[in-house]
Structure 1
């Protein structure tokens, strides 16, 4: 079942997000297996957030462990909060 993933941190910003994104998805025409949709934006209270839809929780966990966590560590990025919930409904016109 598809999952909605919300990553957020008051300590991240657009530049750090872009540096991480460039490392984990260098070719935008080849997104990671299982990714359905990806959105990134500043938090209203400051910081940064990423909202994704993935085919499964296994797919997002694998991507985080194999790609995001190592890239963030290399960049010296602060930790972020991650929430994963089962998706109830979606509409992608």
Structure 2
């Protein structure tokens, strides 16, 4: 993402399958890819109070909140039986 982020925002979103679920965890000001992605099932999560760049490495409760959100999102999509091909 660090090397190809601009390419993803400018062109890569066009290749994202409309049937493939998408979860983006981001900073509050960086939502260009989310707006462009045409998938029907997408969620933008960005309000992690006290969080910085690596939410999975935070030591102030953010890591646990982030992990809980990822698990809930995964479980919801796994239980729906939804599959898609890129």
**TM-score scaled by structure 1?**
0.32
Given the two structures, how large is their TM-score scaled by the length of structure 2?
0.34
Q: Which has the higher contact order (CA 8 A, sep 6+)?
A: 1
| Bigger share in helix | 2
* Bigger radius of gyration: 2
